[in-house]
Structure 1
Amino acid sequence: MQPFTIVEDEGFRELLEEFDPAYKLPSRKTLSNILLPEPYDEVVQKVKNLLKNSEYLTITTDTWTSTAVVKVIWP
């Protein structure tokens, strides 16, 4: 639930460095142009197949938005 630019955030990069120093974080362009198009297309095709073979479809929405503020404390 984050934009691709999260990989450019210094704090995010430091966090991943703590988890696995050997991991090389891809750039946002690599994410959007190389790593994600194939899995995205596969999911789109699966959804299309499910819809094509469905007799009925129900769509619901939730328009409620929380105004609560979440404060994260990091040492």
Structure 2
Amino acid sequence: MFLFISIHPLFAQDRAVSNTVIGNGIGIGSALAIAICWTRTNSVLTSILAGFFGWLYVIYFLIVREREN
């Protein structure tokens, strides 16, 4: 009985605790879009807009960019 009482807290799970996968802040798609847009335009406004659209802007860049030789 003493062994059960001493081991039980080690394996107990608190049901009130939940894991958060996505927290506050910007995602990697938004950061990538901001970096790509800043290198192309050097404009804060367009970089903010690109960050808002995130992965959509990254995909747009991959389709529209000029191919290097």
Q: Which has the higher contact order (CA 8 A, sep 6+)?
A: 2
Asked if these proteins are the same fold (TM beyond 0.5), I'd say: no
Q: Rg bigger for which structure? A: 2
Higher share in helix: 2
TM-score range, shorter chain: under 0.3
TM (normalized to structure 2)?
A: 0.24
